């Protein structure tokens, strides 16, 4: 397993303008869920559309990997109780990653108006990866939407202090 390497390649690809480098990290039928916006994309074309929409809205977007948790082998089925802990050799694992994300919100997203402001936010991403190919078959991504509504870091921190 190359969990940290994959996470860094994924983040580096997000920080580039070419969607093909990013899309090449996924299986052709991959599913990408963005929990913050309550939507998902599937397949190569859906992933490419997602990348282009995001990069058009935040053209200077950059992502950095801050933490990668140890990979976890996944069973192929709920009833798999193999002693090896690798899903009976079926070859899928989960990688959890914390990211730092930044850019300038220059163009509207479908449901949010651009602010023209620089922003940053923390993200958490879970990948499910096919061990044999090293390709991502699914992504679950979470982050706060506070950056979109124009709340700065101090507002975010102060509100959390209550």
Per-residue pLDDT of the chain (162 residues; tens, 9 = 90+): 588 999 999 999 999 999 999 999 999 999 999 988 788 999 999 999 999 999 999 999 999 999 999 999 998 655 555 544 444 556 899 999 999 999 999 999 877 888 899 988 889 999 999 998 999 999 999 987 665 545 544 544 444 444
Tell whether 82 is covered by a domain. Answer: no
Domain limits at 135? 3-76+88-161
63 belongs to a structural domain: yes
Alpha-carbon gap, residue 18 to 120, rounded angstroms: 21
**Residue 25 sits in a domain of what CATH number?**
3.10.450.50
Q: Is residue 13 part of a domain?
A: yes
**Dihedral sign from CA coordinates of 48, 54, 57, 60:** negative
Query: Do the domain assignments include residue 94?
Result: yes
Length of the chain: 162
Residue 66 lies in a domain: yes
Q: How far apart are the first and last CA of the chain?
A: 42
Nearest to 14 by CA among 28, 24, 27, 1: 24
- Provide the domain count of the chain: 1
Residues 82, 87, 24, CA angle at the centre, nearest 5°?
A: 170
């Amino acid at each position: 397993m190359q969990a940290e390497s994959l996470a860094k390649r994924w983040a580096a690809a997000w920080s580039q303008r070419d969607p093909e480098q990013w899309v090449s990290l996924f299986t052709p039928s991959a599913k990408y869920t963005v929990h913050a916006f309550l939507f998902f994309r599937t397949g190569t074309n859906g992933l490419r559309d997602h990348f282009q929409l995001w990069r058009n809205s935040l053209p200077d977007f950059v992502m950095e990997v801050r933490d990668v948790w140890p990979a976890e082998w996944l069973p192929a089925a709920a009833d798999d109780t193999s002693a090896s802990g690798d899903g009976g050799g079926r070859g899928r694992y989960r990688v959890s990653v914390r990211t730092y994300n930044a850019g300038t919100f220059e163009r509207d997203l479908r449901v949010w108006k651009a602010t023209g402001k620089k922003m940053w936010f923390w993200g958490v991403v879970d990948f499910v990866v096919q061990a044999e190919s090293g390709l991502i078959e699914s992504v679950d991504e979470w982050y706060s939407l506070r950056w979109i509504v124009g709340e700065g870091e101090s507002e975010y921190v102060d509100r959390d202090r209550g």
